[in-house]
Amino acid sequence: MKIAILGFGTVGKGVYKIIKKANVQTQDLSVSHILIRKNKARLMPEMTDDMNEILNDSQTDVIVEAIGGIEPAHEYILAALNHGKHVITANKAVIAKYLKEFTEAADKHNVKFYFEASVGGGIPWIQGLEKALRIDNVNSISGIFNGTSNFILDQMSRNGESFIDVLKKAQQLGYAEADPSADIDGIDVANKLCISADIAYDIDIHDHKDLPIFGIRNITCADVKYFQAKGLAVKLIGRTHQKGNKFDYVVEPALFLDRTLEANTPDNYNLISLNGDTIGKLDFFGQGAGMFPTANAVVQDVLDIKESKSHLKRDFNKKMEYCPELTKGDYLVRSNADVSELFGDFQPTMEGAYLAVHQIPVGEMHRLMRKVLQKDAAAFMVSLPSQGAVA
Ligand SMILES: NC(=O)C1=CN([C@@H]2O[C@H](COP(=O)(O)OP(=O)(O)OC[C@H]3O[C@@H](n4cnc5c(N)ncnc54)[C@H](OP(=O)(O)O)[C@@H]3O)[C@@H](O)[C@H]2O)C=CC1
Ligand SMILES: N[C@@H](CC=O)C(=O)O
């Protein structure tokens, strides 16, 4: 089976190295082309800067898109599917936006569009979710979906290192996105949660710009230390629940008791959980970012295609209502501005340097927090444990 790799960065190189290493399962795989940018030197015989050369090569069966971002990734994926090539990508930004379009194009041309590496890096999460859905209605998904932010929070709490220093390390280790603001502002988690919810509920959320998303940009070492002293660890999480025909969806920093799996998820690891009717709670744990874990998931998809293993069929046509008030929670807010009046309806009390807000609908909390940020751009919020009970 011949594979073309688009983009030769962290993931593209990882895929190339795993294929070159060749074990019993992968020995029939070879790399036919590597697409590089026009201005780059062709350092290897497989390298080309001509996408048409790849599209028109009848020997190339599979295209692995590893350039990232929206365009030209979207254009290249569609062109590949339309040329009858199977496509595999780890690019959650482009999948979150165009999953339905890619799935329809793949169906039309009788080829596969697989994307295991896009959520949870090396964790077989998409496969696990799809397997659960063969029997169950999955009514909630939650967890730690971003390796970079988990690495930052873990190093800050374990070594007291500064946010900026740890972010630089995450970039050097190949965990962070080309623009790391996607990691720290929650956009990367939102993309992964969107893909997961699309599959779980068979819907098409392709625009999350108005959804409640709050990242970890404003967290300080003092915040982390204060939470630690109370036996709590802070994590950036994504959550979605389904109730009847409604679903909610949130990305935010959350506190977990020291003994929980979430609190003990280290380094670049992710922990993603689902709740199904008969299976109950299922947890998926592993490295969520990095060259080899991610490339491993990509090559697993290649092998699924080689072995004609089908994945769950979804058409993403179900209509469900997004309901920001579906869940309520308790939060801590840190701000230099006096913002207690904003939260007057939710029994605000002071806890140390933080304003505690009680039983507030999640959508309302994020709406009010946007107002807090207008008064104090460095303000921070975090949800308290046992958040997310469906109202
Ligand atoms: N790194 C990780 O741990 C994970 C990454 N992913 C996803 O995988 C994708 C790739 O990520 P990653 O490998 O880390 O990113 P990198 O930035 O390391 O690699 C991307 C590569 O693609 C090249 N590139 C960009 N645009 C073009 C283009 N138009 N034509 C040819 N080459 C191009 C870049 O070149 P240049 O350097 O010149 O810009 C770079 O070499 C992203 O979508 C990311 O979200 C998913 C899971 C984990
Ligand atoms: N930047 C992402 C890479 C994997 O998806 C992360 O840190 O999780």
Question: Residue ranges of the domains in the chain?
Answer: 2-118, 327-390
What is the CA(68)–ligand 1 centre distance, in A?
5
pLDDT beyond 80 at 297: yes
pLDDT beyond 80 at 209: no
* Cross-strand pairs, 274: 141, 282
Provide the CATH topology of domain 2-118. Answer: Rossmann fold (3.40.50)
Give the integer Cα–Cα distance in Å for 88 and 296.
12
Catalytic (active site) residue 100: no
pLDDT beyond 50 at 116: yes
Can you give the pLDDT at residue 390? 44
pLDDT band of 388, cuts 50, 70, 90: very low
CB 271 near ligand 1, within 6 Å: no
Can you give the pLDDT at residue 13? 98
124 exposed, middle or buried (CB, 10 Å; 0-12, 13-18, 19+)? middle
Higher per-residue pLDDT: 126 or 324 = 126
pLDDT beyond 70 at 389: no
Q: What is the tens place of the pLDDT at every residue in 217-241?
A: 999 999 999 999 999 999 999 999 9
CB 148 near ligand 2, within 6 Å: yes
CB 14 near ligand 1, within 6 Å: no
Q: What is the tens place of the pLDDT at every residue in 153-182?
A: 999 999 999 999 999 999 999 999 989 999
CB 177 near ligand 2, within 6 Å: yes
pLDDT band of 387, cuts 50, 70, 90: low
56 exposed, middle or buried (CB, 10 Å; 0-12, 13-18, 19+)? exposed
Instruction: Tally the C-alpha atoms within 13 A of residue 133's C-alpha that lie toward its C-beta.
Output: 20
Q: Which atom of ligand 2 is closest in space to residue 117's alpha carbon?
A: 5
Atom 4 (ligand 2) nearest CA: 289
pLDDT band of 211, cuts 50, 70, 90: confident
pLDDT band of 317, cuts 50, 70, 90: very high
Atom 30 (ligand 1) nearest CA: 37
DSSP type of residue 347: -
Mutate to test the pocket of ligand 1, among 294, 299, 300, 301 (most ligand atoms within 8 A of CB): 294
pLDDT beyond 50 at 391: no
Angle of helix 291-306 versus helix 10-21 axis, rounded to 10? 60
Question: Which alpha helices (H) appear in the chain, and where do they start and end?
Answer: 10-21, 51-55, 73-82, 92-108, 125-133, 147-159, 163-172, 181-184, 187-201, 221-229, 291-306, 362-375
CB 176 near ligand 2, within 6 Å: yes
Residue 160: both structure tokens together: 């007291």
Counting residues of the chain whose pLDDT is more than 70, the rounded percentage is: 99
Can you give the pLDDT at residue 219? 98
The structural architecture, per CATH, of the domain 327-390 is 2-Layer Sandwich (3.30)
pLDDT band of 293, cuts 50, 70, 90: very high
Does this complex have an ipTM over 0.90? yes
pLDDT beyond 70 at 123: yes
Give the integer Cα–Cα distance in Å for 348 and 369.
14
Evaluate whether 311 touches 305 at the Cβ level (below 8 Å): no
What is the CA(65)–ligand 1 centre distance, in A?
9
* Cross-strand pairs, 246: 243, 321
pLDDT beyond 60 at 19: yes
- Tell me the average pLDDT of the chain: 96
CB 90 near ligand 1, within 6 Å: yes
Among the listed residues 97, 192, 235, 328, the single catalytic one is 192
